[in-house]
Each structure stands twice: as structure tokens, then as C-alpha cells.
Amino acid sequence: MSLSWLPNAVSIMRIVLVGPIIALLLRAEFGWALVLFLIAAVSDGIDGYLAKRFNWFSRLGAILDPAGDKLLVAGSFATLAYLSQIPIWLAGVVILRDVVIVAGSFLVNFLVRPLSGEPTRISKLNTALELMFLLFVISRAGYAWPDKITITILGAAILVTVVISGSNYVATWIDQAREGGSE
């Protein structure tokens, strides 16, 4: 029996956890929100590891994994901004980048040519920083740890990586559109 479905199941679990995490945050149950968020964040690495290690790639997985990441990150940023735990402008920048990536990928995929490949290193770093930032913000809301300066430094790093990775995606799509238009 093949376990090739496992990475997709892990991604689906991450998507399913978004609702309870947001509900717990809204009820100020930061301890449980932290536990579920940590599980969801770790699952992001697990599904990718399984897919690569055992060559369990699928078209569905290529959609579920980034969808799970974007839903977790955008939902958590929006909720924590609503709760005044993070600046609204930072949540807006992070969510706007994700909207641009989803819309741009959709347009390039259907109007130019099918996309293939995986996220850039800067994009992976951005996602890791966002997940760490969110973990720290939830932890600070519930347990007053870590200190504000740590969260501020992480927020600044996120701003830099959001701009660089977002610009990188747009530049890549422009190149692909030029190449696709000349064929």
C-alpha cells in the first residue's frame, strides 16, 4: 500500500486547523491557539519533506501546500491585526503579497503558460519568518514572551523579505510572459 497520499493529507490538516486557530485567537485562548498553530507550522515542513524524500509529488499537492500556507498566514495575520496584536499595515503588506502571488500565478498559468517549479529561497525564508513571527506574537499575547524588540526585528525582516520575494515573483512572471509571447 502506497503512502503517497500522506503529504496531501498533512496539507489538508493544516487547512482544517486554520478555522480553530482563528476561533481560539478571537476568544483570547492563546495557549491552545499556540499549540494548534505550532502543529500547523510544523506540518508545513513535514508535507514538503515527505514529498521530496519519497518522491510523492502530485498536482493536488502543488496546490494544497501553498494554499495551506497562505490561508494559515493570511488568516492569522488578519486576526492578530484585528486583535491589535500586530500593526495593521504589516498584516496588509503580508496579505497583499499573497494576493499578488495567487492572482499572478493564476494569470500566468492560464494566460501565458503552465507554471512549474517551486518557491524561491527568499520566498521560503519569508514563509519561515512569517510563521516564526506569528508563533512569537501568539506566545507574547498569552505568556508575555518573547520581548517586543524580538517581535519588532522579526517584523522588519518580514517586511524586507515580503518586498524582495514579491518583486522576484513579479519579475519572473514578466520574463515568462515575454518568453511566452514570443513563441
Where would I find the H helices in 83-147? 88-107, 121-143
Q: What is the pLDDT of residue 176?
A: 80
Q: What is the pLDDT of residue 183?
A: 46
Domains of the chain, each with CATH number or no CATH: 6-181 (1.20.120)
DSSP 33-70: HHHHHHHHHHHHHHHHHHHHHHT---HHHHHHHHHHHH
Q: What is the pLDDT of residue 116?
A: 67
- Quick check: 51 pLDDT over 60? yes
Q: How many CB atoms lie within 10 A of CB 148?
A: 9
pLDDT tens digits, one per residue of 93-118: 999 999 999 999 888 888 887 776 67
- The DSSP secondary-structure symbol of 76 reads H
pLDDT tens digits, one per residue of 112-152: 877 766 788 999 999 999 999 999 999 999 999 999 999 99
This prediction's pTM: 0.94
Distance of alpha carbon 145 from alpha carbon 79, whole angstroms: 19
- Quick check: 16 pLDDT over 90? yes
- Quick check: 182 pLDDT over 60? no
Q: How many CB atoms lie within 10 A of CB 13?
A: 15
